[in-house]
Amino acid sequence: MAEKVEIFEVGPRDGLQNEKRRIPTAQKIALVDCLSGAGFTRIEMASFVSPKWVPQMADSGEVLRRIRRAPGVSYAALTPNLRGFEDAMEAGADEVAIFGSASEGFSKANINASIEESLARFAPVMEAANAEGVRVRGYISCVVECPYDGPVAPEQVAQVAARLWSMGCYEISLGDTIGRATPEAVDAMLAAVCEELPANRLAGHFHDTGGRALDNIEAALARGLRVFDAAVGGLGGCPYAPGAAGNVASEAVHDRLTALGYETGLDRAVLDKAAAMVREMRAE
Ligand code: HMG
Ligand code: MG
C-alpha cells in the first residue's frame, strides 16, 4: 500500500486572509464545506486575530459556527493570544495554532512582538489549551528568508522550533512565508531542525512565489516530513509579508505526491470543484 502523506488545507485561512475584496461569509462557509468533502482531515479556516490587523478574518467565529461539520475533520484556527484562544473555543474550533517567527523583523511586523515576547504571549494559550485538552500546532514563519531581515540561519529556526516543541505543540509547521526558498536551503534548514525534534512532528508550509514549492516539498520528503500545508487554488499570502505570493496549490501538491507514489486520501474531483469556487470568488 502506498505511504500516506497528508495535505493540511489552509486555504480558507492563509488563502482568504490576503484577499483585498471582502469575501461574503456565506462563500467562505461554502468553500469550507466543499473542502471537507474532499477528504482533508485538518482544515484551517479561522483566525482569531485583531480585525484591525486582518479585516478579512473578522467573521471567523460566524464561519466556524455555521459550517457543516464533517465527521473526522479537525477545524483549526489561528490564535495569537489568550483572547483569540477563548474566542476560538467559544466558536467551536477543534484545534488551534500559535504563530511565531524565526526572524525578529517579521515577528514585529506580523504580531507586534519580539520572538521572546511572542513566546511569552503563547504560554498562557498553551496552558489554557492543555487545561481544555485542545491540540496546539506551532507555526514558524520565515524559516529560510525574511522580507525585513534577509536570510535566516537554520540554527535560529531550530532554536524557535525547540522552544515551541518544549511548550507542548503537537506539530511544528515550518513556513517559507515569502516563497523564496530553494530545495538546498530547505534541506539545510531541516538538517538543523531535525537535530531538535523528529521529522514526523514537522510540517512544511511553502508559499510559491519563486515557483519552487513543489521541489521544496520533495526536499522535505527526503528529510522525512509527511505533512504539507497547501491552499486550494493556490490562494494566499500574508498581508505582513510584502511580495509573498499564494500558498502552493493543494491540487498541485496532490498531483506531485501521487506521481511520486504517495497516497493523499483526497478526491481530485472535489479539489477541482473547490479550486473553481476559489476562482469564482476572486473574479467577482
Ligand atoms: P497589538 O497591537 O500588539 O496588541 O497586536 P494589543 O493587545 O495592544 O491589541 C491591539 C488591538 O487588537 C486592541 O483593540 C485589542 O483589543 C485587539 P483596540 O483597543 O485597538 O480596539 N485584539 C484582538 N482583537 C480580536 N482578537 C484578538 C485580539 N487581540 C488583540 N485575539 C496582535 C497584537 C497579535 C493582536 C496583532 O498583531 C494581530 O492580530 N496580528 C495578526 C497578524 C496576522 O494574522 N497575520 C497573518 C497570519 S500569520 C501567517 O499568515 C503566516 C503563516 O501562514 C505561516 C507562514 O506562511 O509563514 C501562519
Ligand atoms: Mg502562510
Please indicate, yes or no, if residue 222 is contained in any of the structural domains.
yes
> At 30, which amino acid appears?
A
Identify the residues whose C-beta falls under 6 Å from ligand 1.
Answer: 14, 17, 47-50, 52-54, 78, 80-81, 83-84, 99, 110-112, 139, 141, 175, 177, 205, 207, 238, 240
Phi and psi for 47 in degrees, rounded to 5? Answer: -150, 115
Please indicate, yes or no, if residue 119 is contained in any of the structural domains.
yes
Please indicate, yes or no, if residue 195 is contained in any of the structural domains.
yes
Whole-number Å distance between alpha carbons of 241 and 224: 28
Q: Which listed ligand is nearest to 106 at the C-alpha?
A: 1
What is this model's ipTM?
A: 0.98
Angle formed at CA 39 by CA 165 and CA 10, multiple of 5 degrees:
50
Longest dimension (CA), the chain: 48
Whole-number Å distance between alpha carbons of 81 and 150: 27
- State CA 42 to chain mean position distance: 11
Domain tally, the chain: 1
Please indicate, yes or no, if residue 201 is contained in any of the structural domains.
yes
Q: What is the structure's pLDDT at 283?
A: 82
Q: What is the structure's pLDDT at 240?
A: 82
Q: Is 135 helix (H, G, I), strand (E, B) or coil?
A: strand
Residue positions annotated with a catalytic role: 238
Question: What CATH number does residue 231 fall under?
Answer: 3.20.20.70
Q: How many CB atoms neighbour CB 218 within 10 A?
A: 15
Nearest-CA residue for atom 56 of ligand 1 = 177
Rounded distance from Cα 50 to ligand 1 centre (Å): 4
Sorted by sequence, the CB contacts under 8 Å of residue 200 that are 6+ apart come out as 224, 225, 226
Structural domain boundaries, residue 215? 6-282
Sign, CA dihedral 195-197-203-205, equals negative
Give yes or no for a contact between 72 and 265, defined as CB atoms under 8 angstroms apart. Answer: no
Nearest-CA residue for atom 3 of ligand 1 = 112
Candidate from 10, 50, 111, 169 with most ligand 1 atoms within 8 A of CB, to mutate: 50
Q: Is 11 helix (H, G, I), strand (E, B) or coil?
A: helix
Give the residue carrying C-alpha cell 498553551. 126
Q: Which residues surround ligand 2, an ion (CB under 5 A)?
A: 14
Q: Which listed ligand is nearest to 87 at the C-alpha?
A: 1
Please indicate, yes or no, if residue 1 is contained in any of the structural domains.
no
Rounded distance from Cα 233 to ligand 1 centre (Å): 26
Which is nearest to 5 in space by CA: 220, 155, 187? 220
Nearest-CA residue for atom 13 of ligand 1 = 50
Q: 12 exposed, middle or buried (CB, 10 Å; 0-12, 13-18, 19+)? A: buried
Rounded distance from Cα 175 to ligand 2 centre (Å): 6
Q: What is the structure's pLDDT at 284?
A: 76
Please indicate, yes or no, if residue 84 is contained in any of the structural domains.
yes
Q: Helix axis angle, 183-193 relative to 213-222, nearest 10°?
A: 40
Please indicate, yes or no, if residue 238 is contained in any of the structural domains.
yes
Rounded distance from Cα 215 to ligand 1 centre (Å): 32
DSSP state string for 2-60:
PPB-EEEE-IIIIIGGG-SS---HHHHHHHHHHHHTTT-SEEEEEE-S-TTT-GGGTTH
Q: 282 exposed, middle or buried (CB, 10 Å; 0-12, 13-18, 19+)? A: middle
pLDDT in tens, the chain (284 residues): 899 999 999 999 999 998 989 999 999 999 999 999 999 999 999 999 999 999 999 999 999 999 999 999 999 999 999 999 999 999 999 999 999 999 999 999 999 999 999 999 999 999 999 999 999 999 999 999 999 999 999 999 999 999 999 999 999 999 999 999 999 999 999 999 999 999 999 999 999 999 999 999 999 999 999 999 999 999 987 778 777 779 999 999 999 999 999 999 999 999 999 999 999 988 87
Rounded distance from Cα 54 to ligand 1 centre (Å): 8
Helix extents (H) in the chain? 25-36, 60-66, 82-91, 104-111, 115-132, 154-167, 183-193, 213-222, 250-259, 268-283
Q: Which atom of ligand 1 is nearest to the CA of 80?
A: 34
Angle formed at CA 88 by CA 23 and CA 276, multiple of 5 degrees:
30
Q: Which atom of ligand 1 is nearest to the CA of 237?
A: 50
Whole-number Å distance between alpha carbons of 22 and 16: 9
